[in-house]
Structure 1
Amino acid sequence: MSEVKVRFAPSPTGRLHVGNARVAVLNWLAARSKAGEFLLRMDDTDRERSTKAFEREILEDLKWLGLDWDDFVRQSARQGRYDAAVARLKAKGRLYPCFETAEELELKRKIQLGRGKPPVYDRAALDLSAEEQAALMADGRAPHWRFKLADQPIEWTDLGRGAVRFEAGHLSDPVLLREDGRPLYTLSSVVDDGEFFITHVIRGEDHVANTAVQIELFQALGYDAPRFAHLPLMVGADGKQLSKRLGSLALGDLRAQGVQPEALVAYLARLGTPTAPEGSDTLDSLTPGFDIAVFGRAAPRFDPKELAQLNAKVLHRKPYAALAEALRQAGVDEALWDAVRENVESLEDAPHWAAAAYGEIEPERAPEDEAYLAQAADLLPDEPFDAETYPVWIGRLKEASGRKGKGLFMPLRRALTGRAHGPDLGALLPLMGRARAVRRLKGG
């Protein structure tokens, strides 16, 4: 058995978003940095919302990020193991049937809150006699089953939060089994973590209360509890909750926008640490020395602008072969990519530069520059164009027009490319050709 074994457990009820991806990346790095194992577990027990289509998208997203796994399991295939765990807990007297409806439980919570008490389940079901239970079931009420917590504090040393303690009576006995016999996440996750010998669970701090319950459940079922690390949840660049705006941060959307997987992985792996991501970061370079202890306690801010800047740095380093399929679809060949790659911010820019070099664009022309642009067209050297064409042309223009600086260069760039910023015109002009350049300079 590996010294370190972690798991990533998405639910196929939707697409992966950046929050899920960060958990996956950190777990993968934690395992690989210790030559450990990474288990991919599909938490697909929600029959109504889980779909094979979402599962396929999750697998594709993980592969796109560059993450691999050593084992794969679906919870839907493990019902027998959960049934066995339920039987053990019942035999130990740790599971008890409850018959309250959702409305009755909500009323109890409101009464407790109104009295200034924590909304903890009052264990009223434990007072029901066997006859009363039988009468409720005869009346058509199926029980849900709760795990009886011990009346003692729950403590552990968290790798993210340090010492954590939950006092007895501050947590409700959790429901482990629905009325239809299906296990809830709390039970199925503990059984899987125990039986697959998971050593470390790295997840968001919204699971801290769940962990308190699960630690006691591990003990009741005779499993070794893993080490836990709970990290602050990401927020937006404005410091506000991120989850409400996740529609645009699904991995599929980011991929469609031209975000490179290396950029996203590096950004998520460094977010919340003192080290800024670099355009040269890869999974291989991030793995050695990975340490969950370097992550701070402040909520990390996910800033799309920072990701875009990092993505541009990654693109600037990528050869044509690494992006050939996407670039070919955008009409960009290797010569054009070599000319423009250090100036692109995203692959979404590629179609524009293909049109600038080989197609048609809408030139930007200021009325006061018309005479100058016509002069530039007349002074443009004859073909064939090469690396010396542009400097020769600029030399002629400078002497003939008396212009210099931005007044010399900017009108040419706007007319030839339709943009104020971009790649070296000296590299772009031979690809564009004389006829196309003259047509844009003269406005024809």
Structure 2
Amino acid sequence: MTVTVRFAPSPTGRIHIGNARTALFNWLFAMKNKGRFIQRFDDTDLARSKQEFSDAILYDLHWLGIFQDATEYQSRRFEVYDAAVEKLKQAGLLYACYETPEELDLRRKVRRTRGLPPVYGREALTLTSQQIAEYQSDGRRPHWRFLLPNFAGDPQEPERTEVHWNDLARGEETVDLASLSDPVLVREDGTYLYTLPSVVDDIDMGISHVIRGDDHVTNTGVQIALFKALGAEPPVFGHHNLLTTTSGEGLSKRTGALSIESLRESGIEPMAVASLAVLVGTSENVTAVPTMNELAERFDPAATSKSAAKFDPDELLVLNRTLLHHMPFSEAHDRLMVLGISGEQAEPFWLAVRGNLDRLADAASWWRVLREGPQEQPEFSDDDRDFLRQAFDLLPEDPWTATIWKDWTAKVREATGRKGKALFMPLRLALTGLSSGPELADLLPLLGREGTMARRP
């Protein structure tokens, strides 16, 4: 059996880091098992689903390093769902209901006052032909519910019916079908809710493992029953914990909070996003993992905690710095060229500055410092100005070696008696205009004697 997984968002907005967690769990599982990854868009809500969001989601996934083996759209498969509906109707497992939302709400309240669970009481199964005709003459159109297999003989007398599965992330799980209402699969207007198309697609597309957020655990009991009603063996399920902010607030596509688009535009590296999205809320330490292959080696769905995965967005910047500080020039080369950083100095420049970057784009400001000098001229005291002029007079002649900084500062220290911060800070300010930054021992050979002398106060 070929392991086949899917990521199935609704294209109603941009995906966020929480959605990316689900996509990455599926992608890494497929990688580890040499399986297939299907990108499926659950776009049966034709009013809210947009092709522009589908395209944007694919762009975000590709940026993260996730590449689909196939792309499917539910909006192009209504005939398949229609056929499944007819099959369920013929089997007596899909029944018409005519209650309004207000009537259903009233019934739930009545059941609560009687100490009963607020589940649907299957009243529609007892409707007479005359009652149905009256509803229809009033213009009511039915919605259709799936009859859960939670009774021995009489559907009006449900009994405890346990559905068990060994969850990839949570271990042994159980759902009692008697505690649930028969789910609505088809709305009054004939459109489909999530459950039926999802199960039908998983069957048709050969999905072997369904990995998703733990907000779907209860749904899984219903879906396993629906798989069996359609004559199919259910896939293996895994439910990972959801990402929340440190305050416990959930993420939403509608608000755009921490969208992949916004993280990309803010200069966060894709592997910083992937590392946090996958490792937070697991028994693994959250560290910056440089490649997807290495992340796959560390990935284990069973290491996921059952509690929510709380994270601080500031962690992304910490991971970002770590990735940049160790990024080889070969990986940064093309992106540096876009910033105008090229030529024979590009590689030694990158190796000199990468340890001081929060974002790769920050390299451009250091390139300007190297080429043009300090962007703002620092103010010096009279003592520091005299010191700097004396120091620059001691600058060694060409040719310069890799030890030029050490050689120069040794001469300055001997001549002036200055040492430590009193020696190094004025030199740093004169050379870069900034009080911190890359090692001057690395920058000085890039500046050359002429470029260095040009910064003499």
Structure 1-normalised TM-score? Answer: 0.89
Segments of 5+ residues of structure 2 without an aligned counterpart are 151-159
Percent identity over the alignment is 46
1:400 aligns with 2:408: no
Residues 365-389 of structure 1, C-alpha deviations (whole Å, 9 max, x = no match): 4647444444444444566765343
Residues 75-118 of structure 1, C-alpha deviations (whole Å, 9 max, x = no match): 11111110011001111111112222333333444454566543
1:358-373 to 2 correspondence within 5 Å?
358-359=371-372, 360-365=374-379, 367=381, 369-373=384-388
Residues 8-37 of structure 1, C-alpha deviations (whole Å, 9 max, x = no match): 112211112111111111111212212222
1:136-151 to 2 correspondence within 5 Å?
136-151=135-150
In structure 2, do the counterparts of structure 1 residues 374 and 164 end up closer, same or farther at CA, with 3 Å as the change threshold?
A: same
- Judge which range, 27-36 or 270-279, deviates more: 270-279
Letter paired with 1:126: L
Aligned residue number for residue 347 of structure 1: 360
Letter paired with 1:14: G
1:73 aligns with 2:72: yes
- Judge which range, 150-159 or 244-253, deviates more: 244-253
Aligned residue number for residue 196 of structure 1: 205
Aligned residue number for residue 390 of structure 1: 405
Alignment check: 8 A CA contact 1:257 1:347 kept:
no
In structure 2, do the counterparts of structure 1 residues 121 and 369 end up closer, same or farther at CA, with 3 Å as the change threshold?
A: farther
Aligned residue number for residue 272 of structure 1: 281
Alignment check: 8 A CA contact 2:94 2:145 kept:
yes
- Count of paired positions: 440
C-alpha separation between the residues in 1 aligned to 2:217 and 2:447?
A: 60
Residues 55-82 of structure 1, C-alpha deviations (whole Å, 9 max, x = no match): 1111111111222222221111111110
Letter paired with 1:156: H
In structure 2, do the counterparts of structure 1 residues 301 and 131 end up closer, same or farther at CA, with 3 Å as the change threshold?
A: same
Structure 2-normalised TM-score? Answer: 0.87
Secondary structure of 2:256's counterpart equals helix
C-alpha separation between the residues in 2 aligned to 1:321 and 1:90?
A: 61
Letter paired with 2:371: Y
1:209 aligns with 2:231: no
C-alpha separation between the residues in 2 aligned to 1:164 and 1:194?
A: 22
1:25 aligns with 2:45: no
Letter paired with 1:283: M
Secondary structure of 2:408's counterpart equals helix
C-alpha separation between the residues in 2 aligned to 1:437 and 1:137?
A: 89
Secondary structure of 1:150's counterpart equals coil
C-alpha separation between the residues in 1 aligned to 2:361 and 2:250?
A: 25
C-alpha separation between the residues in 1 aligned to 2:26 and 2:142?
A: 37
Aligned residue number for residue 411 of structure 1: 426
C-alpha separation between the residues in 1 aligned to 2:408 and 2:428?
A: 13
Alignment check: 8 A CA contact 2:161 2:177 kept:
yes
In structure 2, do the counterparts of structure 1 residues 422 and 116 end up closer, same or farther at CA, with 3 Å as the change threshold?
A: farther
C-alpha separation between the residues in 1 aligned to 2:103 and 2:114?
A: 17
Aligned residue number for residue 49 of structure 2: 50
Segments of 5+ residues of structure 1 without an aligned counterpart are none
Aligned residue number for residue 233 of structure 2: 224
Aligned-residue CA RMSD (Å): 2.7
1:154 aligns with 2:168: no
- Judge which range, 183-192 or 129-138, deviates more: 129-138
- Judge which range, 227-236 or 280-289, deviates more: 280-289
In structure 2, do the counterparts of structure 1 residues 100 and 171 end up closer, same or farther at CA, with 3 Å as the change threshold?
A: same
Picking from 331, 335, 339, the partner of 1:330 is 339
Alignment check: 8 A CA contact 2:268 2:317 kept:
yes
Letter paired with 1:275: E
Aligned residue number for residue 293 of structure 2: 284
Picking from 178, 190, 195, the partner of 2:187 is 178
Alpha-carbon shift at residue 206 of structure 1 (Å): 0.6
Alignment check: 8 A CA contact 2:177 2:221 kept:
no
Secondary structure of 1:243's counterpart equals coil
- Judge which range, 250-259 or 382-391, deviates more: 382-391
C-alpha separation between the residues in 2 aligned to 1:366 and 1:202?
A: 61
C-alpha separation between the residues in 1 aligned to 2:385 and 2:115?
A: 77
C-alpha separation between the residues in 1 aligned to 2:23 and 2:64?
A: 10
Alignment check: 8 A CA contact 1:315 1:346 kept:
yes
In structure 2, do the counterparts of structure 1 residues 383 and 83 end up closer, same or farther at CA, with 3 Å as the change threshold?
A: same
C-alpha separation between the residues in 2 aligned to 1:366 and 1:418?
A: 11
